[in-house]
Structure formats: C-alpha cells, structure tokens
Amino acid sequence: MSGSNRVSITAGDIEIELQGATIEIDEKLAMMKEDDTWTILLERIKEARAAAIDAAQVTADGADLPIRGSAFAALVSNCRLTKKPDQVLGAIHYLREVESIKDAPPRVINKLFEDAGFAPPDNLSLYLNRLRERGFLEIPDNVEDKNRFAVLTSQGREHLNKRSSA
C-alpha cells in the first residue's frame, strides 16, 4: 500500500504523532508497545474514563433524583420480584429501558439496589451468568462477552411479565 497515514493520540501529557506508510506506523506502534509508552497511554485513558464516570455519578447524585430508587423499588414490588435473580433481571430492564443506560458495570447495578433500599447482590457476575444460561439475558456481539452490556431477551421480558401477573 502506498500513501501516507497519520495517527495522532493525546492522553494527558502524552502525545503520539505517527506518520508514514501503514507498515511504518505498525512498526512504530510495535516499538511503543515494547516500551512503557503504550502502557502509560492506556492507563491514562482508563483513569480519564473512570474520572468521567465518577463525575457523572456525582452529578446524578447531586441532582436530587429520588425517583431513581423509588422507581426501581416500585418495579420490584409491582412485578413481585422477590428472588434476587429476578431483581437483577429487573435492574437490567430498568437501566436499559427506563434510564437508557447501555453500559451498566456492577457498581451501577449495585447503586440502583442501594438507592431502592435493597441489599445489592453478593455475586452479581454469578447472577448475570445464570440469567444468560436461562436465556433471559444476552450480550451483543460487538462487546466481547462483557456482562455490563447485557440486555434482556424476549424470553427475559416474558419472564418479568409472568412475574407481574402471578
């Protein structure tokens, strides 16, 4: 391949500017991966992401949105979700459908339980994996099997509907 490519990455005080043919850029990236530059860059990006999530949580907490916990508690009560796996399924449903959250790491799910006045699940991954095994949750193909992106299947929605009419 001929032509010139350019890669520009800035993370905090680290700036990477690469220019050249594809093979040259690949070689330069490989050399960066061998030294600590690439590792430091990725760490800075992770820190910035975590800081952004924390800032968003602080903003949401400071917005005095008491309805979040009470709305989830109402869902649990109205749907008669007495078992923890059903509550976890309800939490995923609530976060996806009501709050339109697509990325729900364990701390987000646990916070929802706390906001509702419920004890968070002891081993959330176990619950999520069992719900997947039962066909109630699925992980979209493009997220490399991460539970935090789980969505309800039609079978999962049906299960919640049955619980509410039981």
pLDDT of amino acid 64: 53
Which band of pLDDT confidence, cut at 50, 70 and 90, is reported for residue 1?
very low
Position 58: which residue type? V
C-alpha span between 103 and 140 (Å, rounded)? 12
**Residues 90, 159 within the same domain:** yes
CA Rg, the chain, in Å? 21
Strands (E), 12-68: 14-20
* pTM reported for the whole predicted model: 0.60
Is there a single domain that holds both residue 113 and residue 99?
A: yes
The per-residue pLDDT for 140 is 85
Report yes or no: 127 and 88 within 8 Å, Cβ to Cβ: yes
Residue whose entry in the numeric block shows the structure tokens 């976060």:
95
State the CB neighbour count (10 A cutoff) for residue 94: 22
pLDDT, tens digit (0-9, with 9 covering 90-100), for 93-152? 999 988 888 888 899 999 999 999 999 999 999 999 999 999 999 988 887 768 889 999
Same domain for 49 and 113, yes or no, is no
**87 and 104 assigned to the same domain:** yes
Residues ≥6 apart with Cβ < 8 Å to 146: 139
The identity of residue 67, as a single letter, is I
- Domain of 41? 5-62
Count of domains in the chain?
2
Tokens of residue 43, six digits: 């760490």
Query: From residue 94, how far is each of 6, 108, 131 by CA, in Å?
Result: 43, 12, 16
* End-to-end C-alpha distance for the chain, whole angstroms: 64
Q: Are residues 19 and 87 in the same domain?
A: no
Residue 33: band (very low, low, confident or very high) from pLDDT cuts 50, 70, 90: confident
End residue of a domain, out of 18, 33, 62: 62
- 140 or 90, higher pLDDT: 90
The structure tokens listed for 10 are 């800035």
CA dihedral of residues 94, 99, 105, 111 (deg, nearest 10)? -70
Q: Residue 143 corresponds to which amino acid? A: V
User: How many other C-beta atoms can be found within 10 angstroms of the C-beta atom of residue 67?
Assistant: 11
User: 3-state DSSP call for residue 149?
Assistant: helix
